[in-house]
Amino acid sequence: MKLRLLVVGKGARELAEFESRFDQRMRSFASLQVIELPEGRARQTAQRKQEEAKQILAQAGKGFILFDEHGSMLGSTAWAEYLERLPGNAQLDFVIGGADGVADEVRRQAGACWSLSRLTLPHQLVRAIVLEQLYRAFTIIQGHPYHRV
């Protein structure tokens, strides 16, 4: 399985070691590529979101999953069930928008929209959480003891 995490903006230096740990661990389950997209430069929020939308939609494959505060909240086992239903040669993109969120056009074109929390989270932290949760989902599928409840 090939997974890509498309992220608007750079990762936080403080979280780089954490992300690297899960990037390494994921290699035994799936190919994972993190792609950083440039942040919009416009002064107005709507224009920045439009600039970022062009970048996202140019890169994201059909059926991508968008992380958005208005999305469905799924638990770790639901992530695992979703991934387990995909064929082994599947290619799936996950998208994390910029600090201002995403343009409505991105939301409309997403295959699914998931929320991590009702809290508003910094997009750099969302990136770290998504990497950990992807790893967790694969360990659930494999019956690995990492996931404990």
Binding residues for S-adenosyl-L-methionine: 97, 116-121
Report how far residue 143's alpha carbon sits from residue 139's, in angstroms, rounded to the nearest whole number.
6
Q: What are phi and psi of 126, to 5 degrees?
A: -60, -40
Q: Which of 135, 79, 71 is nearest to 102 (CA)?
A: 71
Question: How far apart, in Å, are the Cα atoms of 144 and each of 5, 20, 41, 133?
Answer: 23, 20, 44, 14
Which residues are known binding-site members?
97, 116-121
Overall size of the chain counted in residues: 149
Question: How far apart, in Å, are the Cα atoms of 73 and each of 30, 40, 100, 114?
Answer: 23, 27, 20, 6
Write down the residue that tokens 């661990």 correspond to: 25
